[in-house]
Amino acid sequence: MSYFPYAFTGLVERHDLGTYGYTVIWLPEEIAAQLPFAEHPRLRISGELNDHPCSGAWQPSRGRWYLMLGKPLLKATGLSLGCFAELRFRLDAQDEVDVPPLLARAVAGNAVAGERWAALTPGKQRALSHFVLSAKTGPTAAQRVAQAVTWLETGETDLRRLPKIDL
């Protein structure tokens, strides 16, 4: 069995969703039929796009699935709208979450936050982890960890309502 059991060549296209536009590659129907979308509508994958490492999730849209291609990946691969690209991929563990050490320590050290963290879906755990990991400086990361812990302590479930904290 290949390290990447799924492979296809597809067109890099623009996909408009409301006021947002994304650069995407669509999953062919014959491959989609083989994948467990009934269990995981947003199926996490890792692979290679034109021999460049990539990861993401197949996103549903009107009975089809697309993979968003970010600007850094497009730049690294030399791809743009209208180009054909080769994508090879494998399924990732769907419930796995890479938690930043600073966030993991803060959650482990707070009983209420730890309990509420454990009750979150893997998607919300990934969103909070990304919130911390996307900080460009150490002080910003520390502030975001404090915000995440406060959010967990309040029992809020809407990530758009992360509290702003002045440290």
| pLDDT tens readout for residues 5-53 | 999 999 999 999 889 999 999 999 999 999 999 998 899 999 999 999 9
d(CA 39, CA 43): 9
Share of the chain above pLDDT 90, in %: 77
Domain boundaries, the chain: 6-91, 101-161
Q: Which one, of 20, 58, 52, 22, lies nearest residue 39 by Cα?
A: 58
Residue 104: pLDDT over 80: yes
Residue 58: pLDDT over 60: yes
Residue 96: pLDDT over 70: yes
Residue 63: pLDDT over 90: yes
CATH class of the 6-91 domain in this structure:
mainly beta
d(CA 144, CA 129): 10
Provide mean pLDDT across the span 54-69. 95
Kindly indicate the confidence band of residue 167, based on its pLDDT and cuts at 50, 70 and 90: low
d(CA 101, CA 116): 18
* Long-range Cβ pairs for the range 15-24 (8 Å, 24+): 15/61, 15/66, 17/61, 22/66, 22/68, 22/69, 23/68, 23/69, 23/70, 23/71, 23/74, 23/81, 24/66, 24/67, 24/68, 24/69
Residue 155: pLDDT over 90: no
Hey, which residues does 130 pair with through a beta bridge? none
